[in-house]
Structure 1
Amino acid sequence: MKSFQVVEFNAPLKEVDQPTPQPSGTQVLIKVKAAGVCHSDLHIWEGGYDLGHGRKPLSLKDRGVSLPRTMGHETVGEIVAFGPDVKAGDKADLKAGDVALVYPWLGCGKCETCLAGEENMCLKPNALGVYCDGGYADYMTVPHPRYLLNLKGLDPVTAAPYACSGVTTYSALKKVEADFNTPIVIFGAGGLGLMALSLLKAMGGKGAIVVDIDARKREAAEKAGALATVDGKAPDALEQLAKKAGGPIRAVIDLVGNAATTQLGFDCLTKGGKLVIVGLFGGGAPWALPLIPIKAITIQGSYVGNLRETQELLDLVRTKKIAPIPVTPMPLAKANEALVDLQKGRLVGRAVLTP
């Protein structure tokens, strides 16, 4: 099989040819049909996160990410074979030849958090494409059938992003669902932002004002149904947000996560509002600490989503016939090019590798 691996941080991916793995134990072998290229892949590729305030960057190596590593955590594949320990009850509605979305946010599988269905919060993460090899390859093994969600006819290329950008935005939106009767503010009109707009409408929200510094992405957000858009770099961005909201802003979802976006997000909230930070762009917290209690603001992080939420998301996509976000299919051999395009901000929507 062919894969593209990070063999050195900040270096081009290396094309590797190796034998196709055979599934052991409860593993499932899939033939990859689509693998989304996510902004989180850039952090893995670059080797860390900017913590701001002159702090030493958070090293992925120190977090247990070892090289070489095949990235790819937004993966759809066709089931080829089940390992010898897979029982009939483990397969649910799956059989060889079915096309399934891979849930990648695995933990140790044994702790109280994992057993409660919150593997994405496990303190010993085993995420596919991060700590274990993922979908930038022809074939991939998945540890257990329960992490495969049957697409039942959904398009593999447009469905692949549901494993990250989809469940990430769905989980974040659920955290502000109590404020869906008023416009919310979303920072970032990339793959996650466009996904959030589609899901917000399907979940019964009034709508969102989208903030982005890229005019092309603001235009994409308007086409995707944003109530309004604002240039985050505009000197009167705060005033524009207040005017376009037409009332108090109670909820902000920041899909960028840098000092500028979190500051503007904090500033635009009314008393008692909630700022949910999803993006990992990096930097240090910019808020004046006394204003947090004075405004009674809730600042909450949101990290991907759990397996149950991913199934809920696929069910929502089917029942509400949610239109997919724009995707740019690219051959697996162009994995490096896709990462550079994402790094340089040249992509609108999502690049999806198609082996």
Structure 2
Amino acid sequence: MKQEHPFNSDNIFRSFWKFILLNMGIVFILLLVQCPSCIFSWQEIVSRKSDIIFSFLMSSSLSFGGYYVDLFFENRISWIKEPLKRLTATLFTYMVYSFIVSFILITGIVLIFVDEVTIHNISWVKILENTIPPTIIAFTIISIFIARGWLFEWRNTALEAEKLKSENIASQYQSLKDQLNPHFLFNSLNVLSNLVYESADKSAEFIQQLSRIYRHVLDVQNEELVTLNLELDFAINFLSLQKIRFEESLEFHLDNINPKDWMIPPLSLQLLLENAIKHNIISQAKPLKIWIGMQGESLVVKNNYQPKQSKETNSGIGLNNITKRYNLLSETFPEIIQTEREFIVKLPLLKITK
């Protein structure tokens, strides 16, 4: 995949006039350094025309070559995967290019502007000596292009890795949320099947309440977080639904809770309540008592621990689902405490950072 550079250096080298202006600016700076008085004297500028032409041609050739050498290797050798190979190839190619171009330009300038010099009496040793400074300058130029190329590729690789990570997390989170609908519906239908044999009136009331609750489930299934206030309202409706079946055998109490701006993964509270109802004895002799409240920055769900003596396998969807979703959303995790008398889960409350 070809990577796009975020700034306009590509356009500078592809646009003729921008390229000319860039190198004229470099020549102007060099002229000021070598001859500050030239800015006030046209004659001095004319007397240095060979230097100006040489500087312009050299600057244009070296910058042009540096850009295209870097561009040539950009999609052939990766800075990230093969940094030493890329560095060696870029340096070697550009230094050879710079030496040849410098040698040709210096030879041409000498033959054109120095009258007494011809191809027969030219000093090739002097030409080679004069080729050294441009080659050193070329090394500086290619160092800039190397640093630029490496930084761009590192940045693009880091952005791509972060994008893949985000997509992976989103996919995992969606997969976890997709477990909730079948899980909730399956448990609700099990309850309904028991009620049908007990009472037709209770069954009808249960179905009406279930339809309202399931509408809420569908509304929040695509959300990563919902407000604590919304989740508490849903919990009350859910427990009221269960009261239709268990009547006085189920007791629940919500302590004073200040929702503020707290957020929570959707349906996490409902999963805890489902687990409590599914895995504990619920009878008039042993009513299930559920308490929901706050401790610091955690929502606490507590119930008396009276596990069923059942061979039914616990699939672990509830608690595992909540823990995995917290793992994808934050650095905090639910705390699970089990004693002989109580089962307690503390859900960290989250805030959306602006």
TM-score (norm 2): 0.22
Which one has a larger percent strand, Structure 1 or Structure 2?
Answer: 1
Which has the greater radius of gyration?
Answer: 2
